[in-house]
A and B are shown apart, each in its own frame.
Chain A
Amino acid sequence: GAGVSQSPSNKVTEKGKDVELRCDPISGHTALYWYRQSLGQGLEFLIYFQGNSAPDKSGLPSDRFSAERTGGSVSTLTIQRTQQEDSAVYLCASSSARTANQPQHFGDGTRLSIL
Chain B
Amino acid sequence: EDKVVQSPLSLVVHEGDTVTLNCSYEVTNFRSLLWYKQEKKAPTFLFMLTSSGIEKKSGRLSSILDKKELFSILNITATQTGDSAVYLCAVQPSTSGTYKYIFGTGTRLKVLA
Contacts and interface: CB of A to CB of B under 8 A. Distances in A.
Interface string A1-40: 0011000000000000000000000000001010100001
A43 B99 contact: no
A53 B32 CA distance: 22
B100 A45 contact: yes
A56 B97 contact: yes
A100 B42 contact: no
Nearest to B45: A103
A101 B31 CA distance: 9
* Count class of interface residues, chain B: 20 to 34
Contacts of A59: 100
B99 A98 contact: yes
B103 A100 contact: no
B58 interface: no
Interface of A: 3-4, 31, 33, 35, 40-45, 48, 50, 53, 56, 58-59, 91, 98-101, 103-109
8 shortest interchain CB distances as A-B pairs = A42-B105, A43-B103, A108-B41, A106-B42, A56-B98, A103-B45, A42-B103, A100-B31
Interface of B: 4, 6, 31-32, 34, 36, 41-45, 48, 50, 88, 90, 92, 94, 97-106
